[in-house]
Structure 1
Amino acid sequence: MSFEVVSRKDRHGEPLTTVLCGGCGMLRNDPVPSEADLAAFYKSRYRESYKGASEPRRRQVWRNFRRVSDHIVAYRDVYARGGDWLDLGAGSCEFTFLAGRLGARVTAVEPHSGYAAYAAQRLGVQVLAQRLEDCDFAGPSFDLIRLSHVLEHMRDPVAALRQLAGWLRPGGVLYVEVPDIEADARNKVRGRLFHFGHIHNFNPVLLRHVAGLAGLVELPQTAARSAGRCGVFLVVGEGGQCDAAALAANAARMRAAMAAHNARTIPEPAQGTAAGRFLLTLRARAQEQLAGMLGGSPRKIAEAASARLERSVLAG
């Protein structure tokens, strides 16, 4: 398979080589970091590098609870199944907290020691402070697994998904969400795309193809709602991967997206203008800051979000 260099810098201007696969369009770090380097990075440096702090800010707590609540309501038919759930790469554990309030029995796994401590101390959520590679669940153990903004951090995404598929009980569902690098190439300033921790970068085609290689297919009841998105519900099944022609077309599409990103001086979002998007972002940030301040402690924000979610689920 042929690879071509598309970037020599990360989003902070530090050296990082990113290559594009000519056969499918996957963008990945070159070389792939070692297991030892990743283990040390995620335990103590990832959140500081990516978010600038060892625990979430108040506005981020409010925003995360809002986003997770909206997601659960949008897919309430899937989340109504209850049972034993795994929140892998749980971050600051908003999903874990809300899912537990809805009656699920949730196991949370988060490798960053600061975020794991935050979840335990501020939200009362018990977290296994480890990585996927450290987990050893006994065969099919879960009715639902959530992998939100985690797969892009894996050295081998296909192997990781196969492992998770093996932890699903019959009829179990795996939710995978990743950043959409194709959309980010339009929406972000030139040179602000890549990160050491984001080893593989997906668009909607590649996410579904990689899942197919791992023996997973999209859940039919959510396919229309998730179309064109980098968030997908999966079940064990065959036939999810793309054929060679579709992958070649995706490689050409991703090559064009990267060439356009590297050539432009300002973003060109799919909707609106760069200036309009910037102003909307500033307004949203100010609203989040105010809501976080008024919301009180993280636990109070969590309790309020839980109450709103329970009312929304009951109303639906």
Structure 2
Amino acid sequence: MTSTAENSVDDRAWYAAQLAGGTARFFGPRRHDCPWCGSTRLTVEVRSKELYQRKPGRFTLEKCKTCNFVFQNPRLTGEGLNFYYRDFYDGRGAAQADEMSSYGAPANHARAQLVQRHAGPDGPRSWLDVGTGWGYFAKHAAEILPHTVFDGLDQGSGVDRALERGWLAHAYRENAFPELADELRGRYDVISMHHYLEHTLDPRAELAAAARALEPGGLLEIEMPDAECVLRHVFRSWWVPYFQPQHLNFPPVGNLLQALVEHGFRPLEVQQAEAHQPVEVLMALVFAMTKIGPDPDHPWRATEASDLQRKVNQVAWTKVFPKLINPALKVDILVNKALISRLSHGNAYRIVAVREGGK
């Protein structure tokens, strides 16, 4: 068995080799046109660092002035995505990702209830959650829909853990969703994509795959960040829905509704302010802590952490952060009550659509 120390040495050597030539090689060429509508009227929306794990790199989101689509430009290549995803949901970051996913019960209940309104009181027979992560959606949704069988698809190890925990009846891990769509045809009454499309290279290809997998009458539920939310102006690069570099695409709700129609879906209900999740202040606090007290054992650090840096990390996360969590949550709730509930846009939108007849 390889020891933890040996793993640490191996990880540090891997990251050092990856970063030896800098991060520029992780990006493709910058686009001069909008990948959604083809317009060349682009403007910089925000520039950001990786704020959670503090891996090196700088990222730019640009906005199309014609259709308001926001996208990462230049975009990470497959190699770049592998670098930044490594040790985030798996490996070193697995336990933390699992814990953070466990806090999503209120949003997961709301997602299940939205579909229930359109599928009937007993809910659908079968549901595939694409991008299921650690499977907490299935766990929480089963509390609303006890007669529904949930399956999950994801490329991380969390989907296997959800299967072991009994939250999923079946787990798909080896293939991307578009590769499986034809094989899945007619197997599910509902397919969901909760905070999944913004991670994908081609959102339209994912919608086309959903259209192939669902029979007419099947339901598709989508939830993703709403880059028209006013709070983006307040938090800028620290606005958590931007979450660079993992979030690649931010189609406005109107763009996505049009794309759904083009792919054979009829939207049934749209939630905007109702889909808001009050986390901006809390996550800004987390980002501040990762800056003040970054993990001294992260293997992508350029140098070994000093004793002082280790002490600062310990104090920041064990003494300071716990005292600030509740005040941050209270401010988030106040902002939600005072602002978001009175506006049309929250930090996310949620759509349920039905697959219409045809091919």
Q: TM-score range by the shorter chain?
A: 0.5 to 0.7
Aligned to 1:294: none
Task: Give the distance between the partners of 1:111 and 1:184, measured in 2 at CA.
Answer: 33
Matched, 1:47 2:95: no
Aligned to 1:279: 327
Matched, 1:23 2:66: yes
1:132 maps to a residue whose letter is F
Task: Give the distance between the partners of 1:284 and 1:15, measured in 2 at CA.
Answer: 28
1:1-316 matches, cutoff 5 A: 1-2=39-40, 3-10=42-49, 12=51, 14-35=57-78, 37-38=80-81, 42=85, 44-47=86-89, 53-56=93-96, 60=100, 62-79=102-119, 80-99=122-141, 102-113=146-157, 115-123=158-166, 125=168, 126-130=170-174, 131-138=176-183, 139-183=185-229, 185-186=231-232, 189-193=235-239, 194=242, 195-219=244-268, 222-223=269-270, 226=271, 279=327, 281=329
Deviation (angstroms), 1:119: 1.6
Q: TM-score, normalised by structure 1?
A: 0.61
Instruction: Flag structure 2 segments of 5+ consecutive residues without an equivalent.
Output: 1-38, 277-325, 334-359
Report the CA distance shift for 1:213/1:75 in structure 2 as closer, same or farther (over 3 A). Answer: closer
Higher Rg of the two aligned structures: 2
Contact 1:211 1:217 in 2 (8 A): yes
Deviation (angstroms), 1:61: 5.1
Deviation (angstroms), 1:37: 4.3
Deviation (angstroms), 1:7: 2.6
Deviation (angstroms), 1:86: 1.0
Larger RCO: Structure 1 or Structure 2 (Cα < 8 Å, ≥ 6 residues apart)? 1
1:93 maps to a residue whose letter is G
Corresponding residue SS for 1:67: helix
Deviation (angstroms), 1:230: 6.5
Report the CA distance shift for 1:202/1:230 in structure 2 as closer, same or farther (over 3 A). Answer: farther
1:177 maps to a residue whose letter is E
Deviation (angstroms), 1:282: 5.1
Q: What do the CA deviations read for 1:208-249 (whole angstroms, capped 9, x no partner)?
A: 233234333311xx35xx266679xxxxxxxxxxxxxxxxxx
Corresponding residue SS for 2:67: coil
Aligned residues: 232
Corresponding residue SS for 2:106: helix
Task: Give the distance between the partners of 1:93 and 1:166, measured in 2 at CA.
Answer: 24
Corresponding residue SS for 2:129: strand
Task: Give the distance between the partners of 1:24 and 1:173, measured in 2 at CA.
Answer: 27
Corresponding residue SS for 1:181: coil
Q: TM-score, normalised by structure 2?
A: 0.55
Task: Give the distance between the partners of 1:32 and 1:214, measured in 2 at CA.
Answer: 25
Task: Give the distance between the partners of 1:23 and 1:40, measured in 2 at CA.
Answer: 33
Task: Give the distance between the partners of 1:161 and 1:213, measured in 2 at CA.
Answer: 10
Q: What do the CA deviations read for 1:256-294 (whole angstroms, capped 9, x no partner)?
A: xxxxxxxxxxxxxxxxxxxxxx93515889xxxxxxxxx
Task: Give the distance between the partners of 2:73 and 2:330, measured in 1 at CA.
Answer: 34
Q: Higher mean Cα deviation, 104-113 or 60-69?
A: 60-69
Deviation (angstroms), 1:179: 1.2
Task: Give the distance between the partners of 1:283 and 1:58, measured in 2 at CA.
Answer: 25
Report the CA distance shift for 1:197/1:26 in structure 2 as closer, same or farther (over 3 A). Answer: same
Q: How much identity, in percent, do the aligned residues show?
A: 19
Q: Higher mean Cα deviation, 71-80 or 23-32?
A: 71-80
Task: Give the distance between the partners of 1:7 and 1:187, measured in 2 at CA.
Answer: 10
Report the CA distance shift for 1:145/1:281 in structure 2 as closer, same or farther (over 3 A). Answer: same
More helix by share: 1
Aligned to 2:36: none
CA RMSD of aligned residues (A): 3.5
Task: Give the distance between the partners of 2:222 and 2:272, measured in 1 at CA.
Answer: 14
Q: Higher mean Cα deviation, 88-97 or 180-189?
A: 180-189
Task: Give the distance between the partners of 2:166 and 2:260, measured in 1 at CA.
Answer: 33
Report the CA distance shift for 1:81/1:54 in structure 2 as closer, same or farther (over 3 A). Answer: same
Task: Give the distance between the partners of 1:184 and 1:54, measured in 2 at CA.
Answer: 32
